[in-house]
Amino acid sequence: MHTRATRRAFGTLTVAAVMTLAACGGGTTSSSGGSSSSGQQIGGNVTVWAVWSGTEQKDFQAVLDGFKTKTGVTAQFQSKGDQLPTVLGTAVTGGAPPDVAILPQPGLLHDLVKKGALKPIDSFVGDVLTSQYASVWKKLASDAGKLYGVYFKAANKSTVWYNVKTLTDAGITSPPATYDDMLKDMSTLQQAGTTPFAMCGGSGWTLTDWFENVYLRVAGVAKYNALAAHSIPWTDPTVTTTFQTLAKIFGNDANMVGGKAGAVSTPFPDCVSQAFGPAPKAAMVYEADFVGTVIPTVNKSLQAKSGYDFFPFPSINGSPAEVSAGGDVAVMFKDTPQSEALLKYLASPDAGSIWAHLGGFTSPNTQVSLSVYPDDISRTAAKAVIDAGDNVAYDMSDQAPAAFGGTIGSGEWADLQNWVRNPTDISGTETKLEAAAVAAYGH
């Protein structure tokens, strides 16, 4: 699962743990997730596996500490990193899965349901998801009409990051609201002697994110979900329109550091350095909200808001505010009082508020107060996810079989990299994508 692991590596903020917040459960709202998450002491243990390590593991441990304070349950956490899907598969086959796991991809949830490994959770947490989450999150966590998961951690993948000074020096005083506005600003930047974009296409998953954001705004959520399920082909006219729209940027060498060759050979996060390092070569980088955690590592002198900021991926032909999002979903393998208590707690605003305060985290729970986020940038990114409501679309490549949407050198990653090298070959690219999709999806 290269895509999730690669993105996750840059998706954290290094901040001090706030244990007083953990102790009180965080936030200013009280959980309606059930008796155990509102203070009933039940004791015992629950085992939890996830991909999180490093800062993310420490921050999640603060959430688990809050859970123990409320319920008396000790959560025994194990980080499985990039190997989580493989390790879970082995554990399920051997009859020894954890009580709870937090999965980085919706496809993995469906695979585990097919194996009969997961327990439905609608009876004790469904009402909370209905009342406190946009319906998209409940749909993503359901299979054949039954709820199996709680989306605990989200990521806003519709953020375009810009160097404030570089834009203002070119006379651009406000970020673009539409794609056409962005194209005009790119021309203005070129006239000022600045390359508009640093591209990260050496990491193929960044090109899938570009495609998905444009496709979402060209075709809408329903078509987006249809393409994600491969119920429409990659030769659909909406795909053609998307490539034509993308070509307005990728088709011009002057729009990208190093031209097409540079765009397709520069990996993430090297592209971030090109826009935000001490001697910037570009004005902007498109990628998810975790770019905001990388910028301070490449240039400590830049301050949030005054030195760097982001704008939402712009509207195309009047499209509404839409967000491409990633996320991590908690599922239950063993139905115990402790497992149920943990799922209810993770669904609550109390749990989301703890990690939101620590940074590098967006809660999809609408009852998590924006005031708990540590800075304006993380607050704005989280607000965009909440405000988009059901116009949130889950990362398409992460929904796809890994052979198509998540493998270096093949499938969507390779086909999009080849298209960047030759962006006039839209028809040939669509044909290759459709053939790869048929092979991976089996239809």
- Do 235 and 198 share a structural domain? yes
CB hemisphere CA count around 128 (13 angstroms): 28
Q: Which residues pair with 146 in a beta bridge?
A: 143
| Element holding 237 (H helix, E strand) | helix 237-250
Domain termination site, one of 359, 379, 396: 396
d(CA 91, CA 433): 34
In a domain, 6, yes or no: yes
pLDDT at 8 over 80: no
Domain that holds residue 257: 159-320
- Do 314 and 333 share a structural domain? no
pLDDT at 23 over 50: no
d(CA 428, CA 243): 12
- To the nearest 10 degrees (0 to 180), the angle between helices 84-93 and 106-114 is 10
- Do 176 and 48 share a structural domain? no
Q: Return the pLDDT at 310.
A: 97
d(CA 432, CA 437): 9
Tell me, rounded to whole angstroms, the distance of Cα 365 from its chain centroid. 15
From its phi and psi, is residue 101 left (phi > 0), alpha (psi between -120 and 50) or beta?
beta
Q: Return the pLDDT at 416.
A: 98
- Do 239 and 181 share a structural domain? yes
Residues 137-151 pLDDT 10s? 999 999 999 999 999
- Do 304 and 169 share a structural domain? yes
- The mean pLDDT of 106-112, rounded to a whole number, is 90
Token pair recorded at residue 250: 């990728």
* Residue showing tokens 């203070």: 39
CB atoms under 10 Å from CB of 226, counted, come to: 16
pLDDT band, very low/low/confident/very high, at 433 (cuts 50, 70, 90): very high
- Closest C-alpha among 308, 315, 314 to residue 292: 308
User: Are the beta carbons of 406 and 82 closer than 8 angstroms?
Assistant: no
Residues 44-89 pLDDT 10s? 999 999 999 988 999 999 999 999 999 999 999 999 998 899 999 9
* Residue showing tokens 């993770």: 346
pLDDT at 10 over 90: no
In a domain, 43, yes or no: yes
- Do 234 and 111 share a structural domain? no
d(CA 45, CA 369): 30
- Do 53 and 181 share a structural domain? no
In a domain, 305, yes or no: yes
Domain termination site, one of 290, 320, 350: 320
- Do 206 and 101 share a structural domain? no
Residues 352-382 pLDDT 10s? 999 999 988 999 999 999 999 999 999 999 9
In a domain, 433, yes or no: no
- Greater confidence (77 vs 1) lies with 77
- Closest C-alpha among 194, 191, 410, 220 to residue 322: 220
d(CA 48, CA 75): 7
In a domain, 425, yes or no: no
| 286: helix, strand or coil | strand
- Do 107 and 79 share a structural domain? yes
User: How buried is residue 332: exposed, middle or buried, by Cβ count under 10 Å (0-12/13-18/19+)?
Assistant: buried
**Total count of domains within the chain:** 2
- Do 173 and 108 share a structural domain? no
Which stretches of 72-172 are DSSP H helices? 84-93, 106-114, 122-132, 135-140, 164-169
In a domain, 405, yes or no: no
The CATH code of the domain that includes 222 is: 3.40.190.10
Q: Return the pLDDT at 403.
A: 87
User: Are the beta carbons of 286 and 197 closer than 8 angstroms?
Assistant: yes
CB hemisphere CA count around 372 (13 angstroms): 27
Q: Return the pLDDT at 424.
A: 98
In a domain, 421, yes or no: no
Residues 287-301 pLDDT 10s? 999 999 899 999 999
The DSSP result for 209-235, as a single string, is HHHHHHHHHHH-HHHHHHHHTTSS-TT
How far is the first Cα of the chain from the last one, in angstroms, to the nearest whole number? Answer: 22
Q: How far is CA 85 from CA 109, 308, 437, in A?
A: 10, 36, 21
In a domain, 437, yes or no: no
- Do 92 and 218 share a structural domain? no
Residues 170-224 pLDDT 10s? 999 999 999 999 999 999 999 999 999 999 999 999 999 999 999 999 999 999 9
Q: Which residues pair with 163 in a beta bridge?
A: 308
Q: Return the pLDDT at 118.
A: 98
d(CA 400, CA 441): 8
Task: State the chain's mean pLDDT as an integer.
Answer: 91
User: Are the beta carbons of 218 and 238 closer than 8 angstroms?
Assistant: yes
- Do 49 and 34 share a structural domain? yes
User: Are the beta carbons of 258 and 420 closer than 8 angstroms?
Assistant: no
Domain termination site, one of 278, 297, 320: 320
pTM to 2 decimal places: 0.85
